Amino acid sequence: MKNLWLILNKYNAFFLFVVFFGLACYLVIQNNSFQRASAVNSSNQLVGGTYEKINAWKSYLHLRDVNTHLAEENAALREQLQRFTATDSIVQGTVSDTARGVQYHYVVAKVTNNSIHQKNNYITLDKGRIHGIEKGMGVISSNGIVGIVLNVSEHFSTVQSLLHSETRISAALEDSRAFGSLMWGDNYDSRTGVLKDIPNHVKVRKDELVYTSGFSLFPPGILVGKVVETGLSGGDSFLDIKIEFSTQFHNLQQVYVVDDLLVDEKTELESQNDDNG
């Protein structure tokens, strides 16, 4: 209290000036319509600008919630899209479960860990067994293929990335629909891979799009990338084609885990082929 009194005593002239100046401004504004209108307009601009900045910060702080909501909405739209797409195009998807109207269910997950510079790369997701995730499920992003679920705990799962030496995915060319095996290239570039086992009589053009064929874990018609080099040789009868991935692995944040609702039925049926042999 003593220090406060010393400060007031030392700077009393300044404080008196502030008080009288404020009082003078108040009297001028109160007794003159022009000044009063100007003051009100200025205060409205100041308050409006302040609220605008506050709302901008609030919107920024809620971006994570907005992104999560949009991802969940995209997953729902992917499932609904299956009800309206034909079965005869690798670009359009498929409808096999007539009772439910969909064959694939999508679970939204966030990437909590990711590597792209190793020989064998893995991704960790924040969804696990309690969310319906199982080993062997495919994982995609809004832009393309990501990888295959490898291990699952109660709340997390790890994914064998497309950037892995042992990952193989069936993919098809847009024009000819010729399909082959997509794998990561030997140069360990996170942007490119190789589409193998394309018959050498197939005409392939640069920038031709490549989609999932539907013969593996993934729905047909999921974008994989585009052709960037067609002159690679895979042997006497086949071509190797360099592909630029559509998925941006270096900034991967949200993904969709693909649950094929008919995979058990399909696997059981195909296992009978071995028994019949």
pLDDT digits (tens, 9 = 90+) for 22-38: 776 666 656 666 555 55
H or E element, residue 23: helix 12-31
Please give the pLDDT value at position 45.
53
Q: Clarify whether residues 143 and 271 are in a common domain.
A: yes
- Examine the pLDDT at 57 and tell me if it is beyond 60: no
Q: Clarify whether residues 34 and 118 are in a common domain.
A: no
Please give the pLDDT value at position 33.
61
Q: Clarify whether residues 202 and 266 are in a common domain.
A: yes
- Examine the pLDDT at 104 and tell me if it is beyond 70: yes
Please give the pLDDT value at position 34.
56
Comparing 14 with 103, the larger pLDDT belongs to: 103
Please give the pLDDT value at position 179.
92
Confidence of residue 265 (pLDDT cuts 50, 70, 90): confident
Comparing 270 with 4, the larger pLDDT belongs to: 270
Comparing 75 with 95, the larger pLDDT belongs to: 75
Q: Clarify whether residues 49 and 112 are in a common domain.
A: no
Q: Clarify whether residues 228 and 153 are in a common domain.
A: yes
Query: Which range among 54-58, 187-191, 220-224 shows the weakest confidence by mean pLDDT?
Result: 54-58
Q: Clarify whether residues 190 and 254 are in a common domain.
A: yes
Domain containing residue 114: 107-276
Confidence of residue 247 (pLDDT cuts 50, 70, 90): very high
Query: Which range among 72-86, 167-181, 193-207 shows the weakest confidence by mean pLDDT?
Result: 72-86
Question: 3-class DSSP state for residue 187?
Answer: coil
Q: Clarify whether residues 138 and 44 are in a common domain.
A: no
Comparing 170 with 238, the larger pLDDT belongs to: 170
Please give the pLDDT value at position 191.
92
Q: CA–CA distance from 149 to each of 76, 118, 190 (Å)?
A: 21, 18, 19
Q: Confirm whether 67 is domain-assigned.
A: no
Number of domains making up the chain? 2
Picking from 221, 222, 215, 220, the residue whose alpha carbon sits closest to that of residue 266 is 215
In the chain, what percentage of residues exceed pLDDT 90?
Answer: 33
Beta-strand relationship, 104-114 and 254-260: antiparallel
Q: Please compute the mean of the pLDDT values over residues 163-176 and round it to a whole number.
A: 92
Q: CA–CA distance from 215 to each of 13, 124, 218, 220 (Å)?
A: 86, 25, 8, 8
Q: Give the range with max mean pLDDT: 49-53, 66-70, 113-117.
A: 113-117
- Examine the pLDDT at 41 and tell me if it is beyond 60: no
Query: Which range among 23-37, 46-60, 199-213 shows the weakest confidence by mean pLDDT?
Result: 46-60
| pTM recorded for the entire structure | 0.66
Q: Clarify whether residues 20 and 126 are in a common domain.
A: no
Q: Confirm whether 101 is domain-assigned.
A: no
Q: Confirm whether 229 is domain-assigned.
A: yes
- Residue 6 dihedral angles phi and psi, to the nearest 5°: -65, -40
Q: Clarify whether residues 53 and 125 are in a common domain.
A: no
Q: Confirm whether 84 is domain-assigned.
A: no
Q: How far apart, in whole angstroms, are the C-alpha atoms of residue 255 and residue 71?
A: 8
Q: How far apart, in whole angstroms, are the C-alpha atoms of residue 218 and residue 140?
A: 8
Q: Please compute the mean of the pLDDT values over residues 142-151 and round it to a whole number.
A: 92
Query: Which range among 19-33, 85-99, 112-126, 186-200 shows the weakest confidence by mean pLDDT?
Result: 85-99
Q: Confirm whether 230 is domain-assigned.
A: yes
Q: CA–CA distance from 116 to each of 84, 111, 121, 198, 223 (Å)?
A: 36, 13, 6, 27, 20
Q: How far apart, in whole angstroms, are the C-alpha atoms of residue 243 and residue 195?
A: 7
Q: Confirm whether 177 is domain-assigned.
A: yes
SS (H, E, C) 90-138: CCCCCCCCCCCCCCEEEEEEEEEEECCCCCEEEEEECCCHHHCCCCCCE
Please give the pLDDT value at position 215.
85
Please give the pLDDT value at position 67.
67
CATH of the domain at 267: 2.40.10.340
Q: Clarify whether residues 260 and 172 are in a common domain.
A: yes
Q: Clarify whether residues 56 and 150 are in a common domain.
A: no
Please give the pLDDT value at position 103.
81
pLDDT digits (tens, 9 = 90+) for 211-235: 999 888 888 888 899 999 886 665 6
Q: Clarify whether residues 142 and 14 are in a common domain.
A: no
DSSP string computed for 47-84: HHHHHHHHHHHHHHHTHHHHHHHHHHHHHHHHHHHGGG
Q: Confirm whether 87 is domain-assigned.
A: no
Half-sphere exposure of 215 (CA within 13 A, CB side): 13
